Amino acid sequence: MMNATDIRKSFLNFFKEKQHEFLRSSSVVPHDDPTLLFTNAGMNQFKPIFLGEQQPTHIRVVNTQKCIRVSGKHNDLEEVGFDTFHHTFFEMLGNWSFGDYYKAEAIEWAWELFTDVWGLDKNRLWATVYEDDDEAFELWPKVTDIDPARVLRCGKKDNFWEMGETGPCGPCSEIHYYIGEDPSNQSAEGVNNSDEYWELWNLVFIQNNRLNDGTLEDLPEKHVDTGAGLERIVAVLQGKTSNYDTDLFTSIILKTEELTGKLSKDNPAPFQVIADHIRMLSFSIADGALPSNEGRGYVLRRILRRAARFGRKLDQHEPFLYELVDTVCKIMGKAFPELIDKQKHISKVIKAEEASFNETLDRGIIHYEKLLKNLKGKIISGDEAFKLYDTYGFPLDLTQLMAQEHGLKVDEKGFKKSMEVQRKRAKESGKFKADMKNIKWTTVSEGDDSVFLGYEQVNAEASIKRFSVMDDTILLVLDETPFYAESGGQICDKGTITGDGVDLTVNDVQNENNVFIHYCSGDFEEGKASNSISCKVDMQRRQNIRKNHSATHLMHAALKEVLGEHVNQAGSLVHPDYLRFDLTHHDKITSEEIIQIENLVNRQILENKEVTTSIKEYEDARKEGAMAIFGEKYGDTVRVVTMGNYSKELCGGTHIERTGDIGLFKITEESSLAAGVRRIVAVTGPKAVEYVQMQSAVIEDLQIKLTSSAQDLNKRVDQLLQQKKDLEKSLKQKQKSSSTFDVKKIVTEAKVIDSKKIIVYETDAADMDTLKEFGDQLLNALDSGVGVLGSTSGDKPSIVVVVTKDLNESGISAPDLAKSIGAIMGGGGGGRPHLATAGGKDKSKLKDALKKAELIIKDALID
C-alpha cells in the first residue's frame, strides 16, 4: 500500500514525465492579493497568467498547493469533522496548461493516472461534464476506455468552476469515485448527491473571466487547471472510507487520544475537528498569519476557538492543541519544510492563544447554559450571540455550532447588525490597490514596458507607453523607469517626471503584475505624451531608504544571532526616516539585548563591508543559506543581497554600496505587537545622529537643572524622588494634625487658677514648625494664661510654651518655663518671652515632662 508521501510523489512524477515543470506551492496566506483571505485553489498563483497579465515561465506545470477553505465561495466549514472528507486545510494536486494542451490531454492523462498507474476500479469511477460542453462529453469515450454510460452532463452549480465572484473561470469535468461497499448499488443519481460518491479530481477548462458586473469575457488563451484533493485520493488508494483513517491524520488522532485519555471510536467528531483544525492552524501560522481580531487573523482565531471548544468535549481545560504541532510537522514537514522552520513558533502562538481563550471559554459556556435555560422559543437572539462574541470571545460559528447541538438557531441578521461597527473597522483596515481593470488607459505606443533601472541609476530619459487621467491624478506607465515601486516592505520612490508639456511630481509608484504605475500630480498635456521625458528620483530620500533597507538586513541577522534562530521577519517597513521590523519572538527584548544588537550592526557598519547583489536559482540561494522571508512568494530566480559575510537575504529592494554608508544605527523603540511578535523601530544615518543629539541635549539640560554630572543624574533623580516622597508624607501628616488641633475646645477645657488659664496638651504636630504654629493659635485664643503643647511626631520630643502678655509683665517668661520643662526631657529650651520651645532626646520622656509642666507653671504663677 502506498503511503501519502509516495502518492504525492507519484502524481508529481507522472506529470513531470509529461514535460511538466514542478513549481512549489505558493504561500497559503496570499500576501499580495487583498481580495483573497487564503489561497483556496492551486490556480490562485496563476491568476495573472490566465488573465493575460503575466507571461508564464513554463507552459506546463505540476504542483501540490496548500489550500484553506473556510470562508467565501468555497467553504465547507460546517461539514468539517462531522463528515469524513471535507477539510479547512487540504493539499490540492494539480497539473496546468497555460495556452498549451487542452481538454483531450487533460482528460486522457487523468484517466491514465487513475486507472493505469494507480489501478482505481473503472467500475467505481464516474465522469461529469458541463451540460453545454459537447466537446468534453464526446472526448471522454474517445480518449479513454470509460463506459460511456458513466459520463454525465451536469449543471452550472457543479460543472462550471469559478474562483470567486469575479476572475478566471470555465466549464469543468469532474471525476467521482464510489466508496460504497457494494458496487452494484451505484446509480447516476448518486453522483453529486450522495456522500458515497466522492469528487476526486476537477479538470477545469479556463476560458472566461467573470467581470464585476457579472458578465463573462473570453480570455486571450485557453488553459487547463486541474485540482485533485490529496487527502481523498490517499483514502481511496489506501482502501479507506474516511480521510481521517489515512496516514495523513492517524498519528494526529492517536496523539490526541494520548493527550486526552479518550478514544476516538467513542466520539469521533471532536478528534476529527481537532485533527483538521490543527493542520490549518499550523500551515497558516507557518506562512506568516497570526490570530487576531480582524480579517485573516480572525479566521485563525475562529478555527482555534472551535478546536479548543471541541477540546472541552474531551475534558481538556488546559492548553493542549499546541502539543499536536510536532505530530503535524512530522507528517508534513518533508513536503513542506516551512513547517519545520517555524515549528517552535507555531506551537508557541497556538499555546498563547489557547491560554487566552481558556480564560473566557468556561465562563462563556456557563453563560450559554444559563441562556439556554431562560430561552423562550428556538432562536438565540442576535444580541445574545453578540454578547457571547464580545464578552466571551465566541465566534458566531461556534455559537451556531453549539446552538445546532440543541436544535436551535441563531439570529444571524441581528448578530450582524451588532457587529457592523467592528466590521467597518475591519474593512477600512484592508487596503485595496487601484484595480488595473478599472483604469482607462490611453496607449501612446505598444511594446514592452516598466523595465526597472533603479538599481543602477536614479535619473533616466524615458518615454510614456500609457497614461490615464483620473481627476487630479495622472497615471503613467513608462518604457523604463528608475522609480522603485512599493514592494517587500520598502516604500516607493518619489521625484519628478518632466519634459515638453509634462511637469509632474511622482507621489506614488505601484507594481501591478510587473507593470509600474506612477501616480503623479502636476501639468500634463496629453498631446505631448509621445515626447521623451526625464525621470528624476528624489535622491536624498532614496539614499535614506537604502540605508534603512540595508540596516534592516543587518539587524535581521543580528536578531538571529542575539535572540536565536527562531526569529523571523513577520513584517517590515522601510521608510526614508526610519525602519520598522516585526519579528517572531515571545519575550520582551531586554535593554542588554538591544545594546548587543546595536553593537553587532554598528560593527558591520564600521567594517564597511561591500554590499553585492546577484541573481540565482531559488534552490541554490537557499542552499547557500540566504534568508527567505516568511510566506513571501519567490520566482525561480531570485535576487540575493549579500553584506560581507554577515547577511545574505533574498530581496528585490534597493541597497547601499558599502555597509559604512549606513553611518550609524540606533534602535529607538521595542514593543509587543501580538502574541509572539515584537516590533522594533530604528533609525540610521543622519536620523540616527539627530536622535542621539536630541537625547544628549535632554541630558545636558537635565545636568544643568539638577546640577549633576551625567553619571550622577540617576542618583540625583532618585534622591529628588525620595525627597518628594518624604515631603508628601509629612505634608499629609501636617494636614491630618491641623485638622485634629481644635484650639477652641482646648481653651474651654483649660484649668483656671485665679482667672488665669493653664493648658498642657499633647498634639500630633509633625514637626517643630507645626507645633509653633499651634502655639501661635493658642496664644491668640488666650486672654490670660500659660500653655504648653508637646509632640513626639518627629524623631525627638518637643514642646512649645506660650505666655500671655499680662503674665510676661508680671514676670513669667516662656523661655524660663521651656528650659525647666526641657530639662526633664534631657534637653534645653529658649525663645521669646511669649513663645519658647524646648526639645529633648528621649521621646518617652514627653509624657513625664507634660505631667510636670503643670506643676512648674503653677509654681511660677504663685511666685
Nearest residue (CB) to ligand SER, 42 versus 495: 42
Q: Smallest distance, Å, CB 199 to ligand SER?
A: 9
Cβ closer to ligand SER: 43 or 579?
A: 43
Half-sphere exposure of 163 (CA within 13 A, CB side): 30
Asked if residue 138 lies in contact with residue 163, where contact means CB atoms within 8 angstroms, the answer is: no
Nearer to ligand SER, 233 or 621 (CB): 233
Contacts of 404 (CB under 8 A, 6+ apart): none
Question: Residue 45 or 186: which CB sits closer to ligand SER?
Answer: 45
Q: Which is nearer to ligand SER, 175 or 492 (CB)?
A: 175
**Cβ 201 to ligand SER shortest distance, Å:** 8
What minimum distance in Å lies between the beta carbon of 98 and ligand SER?
A: 14
Query: Minimal distance in Å, beta carbon 161 to ligand SER?
Result: 5
C-beta closer to ligand SER: residue 41 or 821: 41
The distance of closest approach from Cβ of residue 225 to ligand SER in the complex, given in angstroms and rounded to an integer, is 5
Least separation in angstroms between residue 168's CB and ligand SER is 9
Q: How far is residue 765's CA from residue 769's CA, in Å, rounded to a whole number? A: 8
Cα distance between residue 795 and residue 164, in whole Å: 82
Residue nearest to ligand SER (CB): 227
**What are the grid coordinates assigned to 16, written together?**
513531470
Please give the helix or strand (H or E) that residue 168 lies within, else none.
strand 167-178
Q: All 3 cell numbers of residue 26?
A: 505558493
- The closest alpha carbon to 89, from 262, 287, 266, belongs to 287
Strands 785-791 and 756-762: parallel
- What's the DSSP call for residue 188? G
- Closest CB to ligand SER among residues 12, 340: 12
Least Å distance, CB 353 to ligand SER, is 29
What's the start-to-end Cα distance of the chain, in Å? 125
809: Cβ contacts below 8 Å, ≥ 6 apart: none
Hey, what's the torsion of the CAs at 17, 18, 19, 20, to 10 degrees?
-90
The whole-angstrom separation of Cα 172 and Cα 169 is: 9
Residue with Cβ nearer ligand SER (161 or 741): 161
Taking the complex as a whole, how short is the minimal distance between the CB of residue 27 and ligand SER, in angstroms? 17
Min dist. Cβ of residue 383 to ligand SER (A): 38
Write down the residue that cell numbers 472528507 correspond to. Answer: 85
Burial class (CB within 10 angstroms; exposed 0-12, middle 13-18, buried 19+) of 665:
buried
Min CB(103)–ligand SER separation in Å: 14
Integer Cα distance of 516 and 531 in angstroms? 19
Nearest distance from C-beta of residue 62 to ligand SER, angstroms? 12
Query: Residue 407 CB, nearest distance to ligand SER (Å)?
Result: 34
Which residue lies nearer to ligand SER by CB, 43 or 444? 43
Q: How far apart are CA 653 and CA 199, in angstroms?
A: 44
Q: Which is nearer to ligand SER, 41 or 746 (CB)?
A: 41
Nearer to ligand SER by Cβ, of 59 and 768: the residue is: 59
Q: State the SS3 of 701-734.
A: HHHHHHCCCCCCHHHHHHHHHHHHHHHHHHHHHH
Question: DSSP class of residue 753?
Answer: E
Cell of 860: 511660677
Helices assigned H by DSSP within 287-324: 295-313
- Residue whose CB is less far from ligand SER, 43 or 110: 43
Cα 43 from Cα 172, distance rounded (Å):
14
- Kindly tell me which of 30 and 227 has the beta carbon lying closer to ligand SER: 227
Judged by beta carbon, residue 12 or residue 689, the one nearer ligand SER is 12
128 vs 260 by CB, closer to ligand SER = 128
Q: Is 824 exposed, middle or buried (0-12, 13-18, 19+ CB in 10 A)?
A: buried
Residue 323 DSSP label: G
- Nearest-angstrom CA–CA distance, 112 and 108: 6
Interface residues with ligand SER (CB under 6 A) are 41-43, 94, 161, 202, 204, 225-227
CB of 66 to ligand SER, least distance (A): 13
What is the smallest separation between the CB atom of 90 and ligand SER, expressed in angstroms? 10
Coil, strand or helix at 181: coil
Residue 461 amino acid letter: E
Nearer to ligand SER, 41 or 801 (CB): 41
DSSP assignment of 211-237 = -TTS-EEEEEEEEEEEEEEHHHHHHHH
Q: Are the C-beta atoms of residues 349 and 676 closer than 8 Å to each other?
A: yes
Residue with cell 512530522: 330
Burial status of residue 675 (CB atoms within 10 A of its CB: 0-12, 13-18, 19 or more): middle
- What are the DSSP E strand ranges found in 366-472? 379-380, 409-410, 442-443, 451-452, 459-462, 464-470
From the CB of 140, what's the least distance to ligand SER, in Å? 18
Query: Taking the alpha carbons of 312, 316, 322, 325 in that order, is the dihedral positive or negative?
Result: negative
CA distance linking residue 856 with residue 815, whole number of Å = 13
**Distance in Å, CB of 208 to ligand SER, minimum:** 13
